[in-house]
Amino acid sequence: MNKGRTILEKEQFRFTIDRLCHQLIESYGDFEDTCLIGVQHRGVLFANRIHERLETILKDSKIEYGKLDITFYRDDFRTRDKPLVANATELDFLVEGKRVILVDDVLYTGRTIVAALTALQHYGRPQKVELLSLVDRRFNRHLPIQADYTGLTVDALDEAYVKVEWEKIDGKDRILLFSNKVK
């Protein structure tokens, strides 16, 4: 594997998460009738951080938070070489009539978000759904999906790969850009 170029490091990473949280607070206030839902599995790592930070900033607010697995909603799940392993969906509330903030780490082709929107319908009909993405690879979209809140926009060739690393798992918070796909 080639060595990736760091495009966002620890301090900037933290500032980006803080900025996104403040943008959400501007839009949603105390988060009444609003929930945060992380897309399994890498989107949940980002959603966890956003949720923790929001609850620190808004000490008196309880923000509903869930984790949504989309494994069998993907349009490519039957074309994989290996059997898929699903993650747990942890959604102990209905989204009926709520404002939903769907959270994923990297917005690339848009297929993951379409699968998440389909899976989300099993939990009710939301009033509104918005997308929060840490990284938006805007020139690589296959479907008409766009983020409402974006941490960083990366314009890269199709062969490039963006990897988000998390301190709890990878030892550091950073975003890397690889010139070819990582295997």
Rounded-to-5 percentages of helix, strand, coil across the chain: 35, 25, 40
CA distances from 97 to 29, 115, 121, 127 (A): 17, 20, 12, 4
Q: To which H or E segment does residue 55 belong?
A: helix 42-57
Q: Which CATH architecture has domain 5-23+33-178?
A: 3-Layer(aba) Sandwich (3.40)
48/50 Cα distance (integer angstroms):
6
pLDDT in 10s for each residue of the chain, 183 residues: 467 899 999 999 999 999 999 999 999 999 999 999 999 989 999 999 999 999 999 998 889 999 999 988 876 655 667 777 788 899 999 999 999 999 999 999 999 999 999 999 999 999 999 999 999 998 888 899 999 999 999 987 767 889 999 999 999 999 999 887 655
- Helix (H/G/I), strand (E/B), else coil: 142: coil
The ranges assigned to domains in the chain are: 5-23+33-178
